[in-house]
Amino acid sequence: MINLSSFIAFHARRTPDRCALKYRGEDISYADFDLRIRQVGSWLALQGVAPGEVVAVLMKNSTAFLELVFATSHIGAVFLPINYRLSADEVGYIVGNSGARLLVADEEYAAIAAGGAPVVLLGEVAQSSVTNLAPDIAPAPIHVRQPRDLMRLMYTSGTTDRPKGVMLTYENIYWKSSDQTLVLGLSADTRLLVVGPLYHVGALDLPGIAVLWHGGMLCIHRTFEPEPALAAIEREKLNAAWFAPVMTTALLTCPNRERYDVSSLQWAIGGGEKTPEVRIRAFSDYFKNARYIDAYGLTESCGGDTFMDAGREIEKIGSTGRAIAHVEIEIRDDAGKRLPAGQNGEICLRGPKVTQGYWKDPEKTASAFFGDWFRTGDVGYLDDDGFLYLTDRKKDMIISGGENIASSEVERVIYEIPGVREVAVIGLPDDRWGEKPVAIVVLADDAGLDLPELTEFCRTRLAGFKVPRQLIIRDSLPRNPSGKVLKRVLRTELEATA
C-alpha cells in the first residue's frame, strides 16, 4: 500500500512516543498522529467524501492541515490545498474546476470560501485537531492506493488567465522524497522548521512531509514571524528549514537576532529567485553552522529539481545547483532541439517526480511537453559541470515574496476597468519582495485612472499580492511587427529610470 498514512502507521508501531509534530506548544507523537489520521478519515467519509473525490482546504498552517493531508490519502481521496491569499473569485474557480466534494476552511476565510462545494469552517480548537469536531468517532480503514493514483492537485499560475491544476501522483511524491533524502541526508533526526505556507510546495514538499517518511519532526508555525522562528530554532534545537527569499531577508535583518542561539541549524533551502552573493555570505555569518542551499523546482515536479553542492556556493554563484539523482535536465530551443552547455534556452525536465499533466486540460498538457520532457517555461543554461543558471522566464511570470503571479491574470482584471485600452503588467525589482507587479496602462481618450482606483478595483477580484503596486500611464506600448507587447523593453526602460 502506498497511502501516506502507511508510513505514519509504521512509525507509530516502532516508535509510538516519538514526536511527529509540534504546534502551539503541543507535541503530537506518532501514535497520536496515526490515530488522528484514521479518525479524521472517518470524519471525511461522514461528510460524503468517497475514494477518488477531491478534498479542498483553505487554511493557514496547523496540525489540522496535516491531519487532512494524511487522512485524505488514508481514505483514497485527493488532496487540494488552496492559497488563502486568493480572492473569492479565484478560490471559486479552483473549487469549481476541481469538482471538489468538500471545502474545509479556517473560519477567518469564510468570506472567500466559494465554489459551490459544501464548506466546513474550523475555529481555533478544530485547527489544533479536526478530531475535536467528532472526538469519539471510530477510526477509518485504509482504502489502498496504487503508485500511479492521483494523490494531490495543486493549482499554479501560468501564462493563461486562469490557474492550472497540476496532477501529482503517489509515484511523484515518493520519488521526490527519495531524491531529497539522498541530497539532504534526511533521517529520523531531522527536525524541520515549517514557516512557509503549507499550501505551497516549498513548505509541504521541500522536504516537508518527506521528513515524516523518515520518522523526523515538523515544528509548525501558523505564519512566519522572524523572531518566533529564531526562538523556535533555539528552543527546539531545529536543524533544517525552508525559507522564501523574503523570509531569509527578514531573519537576517531582525533587530533582536543576536539574542538567539541558532547553532543547531545545519541547512536551509532557499528558492524563488537567484540568490545574491551578499545574502549567502550574510546567512553564513549569522547561521554559522548552517549552509544556505540554493535550489530550483516547480509545482509540476513537487519542487527541488536542483540543489547547490556543498562548498561550491561561491564558486558557482548565481547557479541553483545540479540535478538530483532521478531528474534529468536539458536546455532546448523553441523547436525542442537540445542545446550545448553555455547556451541559453528553455529548461526542460524529465524524471519520475514530474507531473503527467494538468487536470481536465489535455491541450495545455500536450503543449507542456517535448515528448516526455517537461517544458518549464524558464530560460537558462547548463555549464560544463552541469550546474544550472537561470537567466529569464519564458513564461510571463512575476515572483513576489515567493508567490507566482501570472501577468495575464492581472491584465485580465485590469481590462475590465472602463476606459482601459491596453495594459501590460510586468515585474520590477523590489528590495523587500524581490519583484513587485507594475501596471502600464494606455487609456482611452478622456478616460482617467489613478493607483487608488486601480487598487480598489483589483482587490475585489485578485489576491492582495497580485495587485499592482505601481501604475504607469503611457500613450502606447512597445510592440514587435506582429503586434506582441515587448515587455522586456518595458522592463529595461523602467529599471533604467527607477
Query: What pLDDT is attached to residue 485?
Result: 79
pLDDT band at 401 (very low <50, low <70, confident <90, very high): confident
Query: SS3 for 37?
Result: helix
pLDDT band at 406 (very low <50, low <70, confident <90, very high): confident
Distances (CA, A) of 433 to 7, 195, 277, 402: 37, 17, 17, 8
Residue 51 has pLDDT above 90, yes or no: yes
Mark 21-43 as b/e (b = at least 16 C-beta within 10 Å): bbbeeeebbbbbbbbbbbbbbbb
Structural domains of the chain in order of their starting residue, each with its CATH number: 5-380 (3.40.50.12780), 397-497 (3.30.300.30)
Query: What pLDDT is attached to residue 148?
Result: 97
Tell me the three cell numbers of residue 442.
Answer: 494606455
Q: Give the chain's length.
A: 498
Of the candidates 8, 170, 157, 166, the one whose C-alpha atom is nearest the C-alpha of residue 76 is: 170
173: Cβ–Cβ under 8 A, 6 or more apart, which residues? 4, 151, 152, 205, 209, 302, 353
Secondary structure letter of residue 188 according to DSSP: T
Residue 371 has pLDDT above 60, yes or no: yes
Look up cell 500613450; give the residue: 475
CA angle 436, 441, 445 (to 5 degrees): 160
461: Cβ–Cβ under 8 A, 6 or more apart, which residues? 87, 89, 413, 416
Query: What pLDDT is attached to residue 376?
Result: 93
Distances (CA, A) of 242 to 20, 193, 246, 311: 18, 7, 12, 19
pLDDT band at 404 (very low <50, low <70, confident <90, very high): confident
Quick: pLDDT tens for 188-206: 999 999 999 999 999 999 9
**Cα atoms found within 13 Å of the Cα of residue 189, Cβ hemisphere only:** 6
Mean pLDDT, the chain, whole residue set: 93
Residue 207: asked if its preceding bond is cis (omega within 30°), the reply is yes
Q: How many CB atoms lie within 10 A of CB 78?
A: 26
Tell me the three cell numbers of residue 146.
Answer: 496504487
pLDDT band at 394 (very low <50, low <70, confident <90, very high): low
Q: What are phi and psi of 55, to 5 degrees?
A: -110, 115
Residue 481 has pLDDT above 60, yes or no: no
Mean pLDDT of 231-240: 98
What is the distance between the alpha carbons of residues 326 and 324, in angstroms, rounded to a whole number? 6
What percent of the chain stands above pLDDT 70?
Answer: 96
Secondary structure letter of residue 338 according to DSSP: B
Mean pLDDT of 319-329: 96
**Angle of the 5-14 helix axis to the 30-46 helix axis, nearest 10:** 140
**Which DSSP string corresponds to 288-326?**
TT-EEEEEE--GGGTS-SEEPPTT-TTTTTTB--EE-TT
Quick: pLDDT tens for 59-91: 999 999 999 999 999 999 999 999 998 999 999
Query: What pLDDT is attached to residue 236?
Result: 98
Look up cell 524581490; give the residue: 434
Residue 483 has pLDDT above 70, yes or no: no
Query: What pLDDT is attached to residue 398?
Result: 87
Of the candidates 86, 81, 110, 83, the one whose C-alpha atom is nearest the C-alpha of residue 98 is: 81
Residue 482 has pLDDT above 50, yes or no: no
pLDDT band at 399 (very low <50, low <70, confident <90, very high): confident
Contact 377, 391 (CB under 8 A): no
Query: SS3 for 242?
Result: strand
Look at 140-154, 159-173, 264-278, 378-392 and tell me which has the smallest mean pLDDT: 264-278
Quick: pLDDT tens for 95-120: 999 999 999 999 999 999 999 999 99
Query: SS3 for 276?
Result: coil
